Amino acid sequence: MKEIKFRYVLRDKETKAISTMHYTLEEIEAGSIHTDFAVLGLIDRTKYDVVARLQYSGMKDTNGVEIYEGDIVLVAGLGVVEVKITSDYGVIYENPELFCDNSYSDSAMEGDFPEILGNIYENPELLNGRIRRE
């Protein structure tokens, strides 16, 4: 069973700088989290806005780095794609420039050897100006 983890994307209200924090479900439930963000749950909301909460895919890239929703990865044969997690298909790679349903499910990913290039919040330019669908 994959470990349930989340990456929080935060924006400093004063400087507008983006930062990320990673938490396991066990840390969230136990309240044993970084003291910088341990105010009424996870985040000191007087200092930070939560931009996104992204789930761990259960997969790692070619360098052993955990892949989360919102990561932008390079996949042989597909190019630069965004990682999404759906209730219907699990983890998918989405590329609006592909034909058909524009995504590939995690069952088709086992031999893809993705490499993380960045994420949609810190590196949106990696998608070459393509419009993200919500």
Mean pLDDT by 10 residues, the chain (134 residues): 84 90 80 48 74 90 93 85 86 66 47 84 77 42
Q: State the burial class of residue 64 (Cβ atoms within 10 Å of its Cβ: 0-12, 13-18, 19+).
A: exposed
Q: Please report the pLDDT score of residue 31 as a whole number.
A: 65
Q: What residue type is 71 in one-letter code?
A: D
Cα 47 from Cα 108, distance rounded (Å): 41
Number of domains observed in the structure of the chain = 1
In a domain, 102, yes or no: yes
Q: Please report the pLDDT score of residue 107 as a whole number.
A: 43
In a domain, 122, yes or no: yes
* Boundaries of domain holding 97: 5-127
Q: Please report the pLDDT score of residue 118 as a whole number.
A: 92
Instruction: Assign residue 10 the CATH number of its domain.
Output: 2.30.30.290
In a domain, 132, yes or no: no
In a domain, 53, yes or no: yes
In a domain, 22, yes or no: yes
